[in-house]
Amino acid sequence: GVEPEYCASYTAALEAGKPVPFPVKNTLADGLAVPVVGSHAFEVARHYVDETVLVSEKQVSLAVLRLIENEKIVVEGGGCSGLAALLPGSALDREDLKGKKVVVPLCGGNIDTTVLGRVLERGLAADCRLSSFYVTVSDRPGGIASLTNLLGTLGASIKDIYHERAWLYSSVDQVQVKCVVELNGKEHGGKVREGLRNNGYDFLWEKRQ
């Protein structure tokens, strides 16, 4: 069995030996967000389910993204939690399952279009294909242009960019810019950071949880 970390009510019930309330948080797998496991469901599952693991919001968003990109199907967060648990680095990514045929039910496509867009962006960020960073540039004409030209040379596609003057306490002729860029993956992100560093830019790369 698989359930989200933000609503691990069945896991809590197993630990307590009976259904107990669990402090539910908003989760991408909202179809699984049950604060208390039903008593009948609990009795059936505890006898027939060998193991239950937890998945993070990051893993759920990646599962939604993988299904759309690779299988061309839309599955809601709760419906693809089984796949989320099998992704690299997840709870079921282990030797005793590798090389075997694993059946994963994909159930439910009840996901709002606007929510789907946000989930896909989170999936891209989790996959290191969407990244953001702050960088200090010259506030003179051409300062931001030099940065964008460098990012283009490094193969990074700028999705969003905006700058801030008031809360920067360094030289008055400098400005802080936040960039959101589309990348090819983790290795590409490393090359972009190296390029910024080699060209003398002071930057802060935002890390994702």
89: left (phi over 0), alpha (psi -120 to 50) or beta: left
- pTM comes to 0.82
> What is the per-residue pLDDT across 23-53, written as a single tens digit (0 to 9) for each?
999 999 999 999 999 999 999 999 999 999 9
Residue 176 is predicted with a pLDDT of 87
Q: Helices in 39-185 by DSSP H: which ranges?
A: 39-48, 57-66, 81-84, 113-126, 143-153
How confident is the model at residue 139, as a pLDDT? 83
Q: CA 164, CA 162: separation in Å to the nearest integer?
A: 7
pLDDT in tens, the chain (209 residues): 999 999 999 999 999 999 999 999 999 999 999 999 999 999 999 999 999 999 999 999 999 999 999 999 999 999 999 999 999 999 999 999 998 999 999 988 888 888 899 899 999 999 999 999 999 998 888 889 999 999 999 999 999 998 876 666 667 778 889 999 999 999 999 999 999 999 999 999 987 65
Q: What is the mean pLDDT of the chain?
A: 92
Backbone angles phi, psi at 7, to 5 degrees: -150, 65
Residue 2 to residue 41: CA distance in whole angstroms? 14
| pLDDT for position 16 | 95
